[in-house]
Amino acid sequence: MQFELHGRSEPDAETVLLSAGLGGLGAFWKPQIAALAEHYRVVTYDQRGTGRNRAELPEGYQISAMADDVIGIIDQLGIGRCHVMGHALGGLVGLELAHRQPHRLRKLILVNAWAKADPHTLNCFAMRKDLLINSGVEAYVRAQPIFLFPAPWLSRHAGRAATETAEGVRHFQGVDTLLRRIGALSAFDMAGRLGDIHVPTLVAASRDDLLVPWTCSQALAEAMPAARLSLTAEGGHGFTVTEPEVFNALVLDFLREPMS
């Protein structure tokens, strides 16, 4: 697995590893990197099957395999423990790590994530799969911002959205890869095991998330013994992009809190 390092390089610097959502690209975290890099060693990576880590994924691909990739990165860095922040699918990777190998994590940040996919979320993914299979890659990519960002934000940033859509088509991860990654997040179910996770956790969500109901984050925070919930009023599924200053301040405050 290829990955990138940003920020602090001292041997004793705390590390924050960032895991993206379904798009899989480390570049998703660009609005957070500078703010985090001032205080931490920051690790970004493209998930297997995407970006610089393009590879054919097997049938039955699971979130556990994505967690294995993160464990491999942590081992390669030789850092012992790190903070992990995951958005949506990346949050599922973080949950898998926290349940299976909690000694790897200092703190966990879950952004618009879930323990088990909500019926509404599954319906959204079913529609997106239909677009991909029946209308093609360009139709899928053009529709993606509707699920990620609020309409007023998209209106104000129409040029940026058009540019990113073109880039998304050009660097599309592949139909089979995407379908197997959607299959992995759809099958993930940690609902009955959340009480076993004692890693200090911030669960962050936006109330106007079109793709994942904020109540999924509420359920996570209520079921995890060392978790707390933070809700923003607006920003959509990708509020790390639409409200970066608010989000970054929230994350830094949480990371700076002393470990109990």
Q: Which CATH class is domain 3-256?
A: alpha beta
Q: Is the pTM of this model over 0.95?
A: yes
**Coil, helix or strand at residue 18:** strand
Per-residue pLDDT of the chain (260 residues; tens, 9 = 90+): 999 999 999 989 999 999 999 999 999 999 999 999 999 999 999 999 999 999 999 999 999 999 999 999 999 999 989 999 999 999 999 999 999 999 999 999 999 999 999 999 999 999 999 999 999 999 999 999 999 999 999 999 999 999 999 999 999 999 999 999 999 999 999 999 999 999 999 999 999 999 999 999 999 999 999 999 999 999 999 999 999 999 999 999 999 999 87
- Residues with Cβ within 8 Å of 206's Cβ and at least 6 positions away in sequence, in order, are 112, 214, 231, 232, 233, 234, 235, 236, 237, 239, 243
Q: Say if residues 181 and 61 touch (Cβ distance below 8 Å).
A: yes
Residue carrying structure tokens 């970054």:
248
Q: In the 8-state DSSP scheme, what is residue 12?
A: T
Q: Domain-by-domain residue ranges, the chain?
A: 3-256
**Cα–chain-centroid distance for residue 14?**
20
**Rounded CA separation 49/174 (Å):** 8
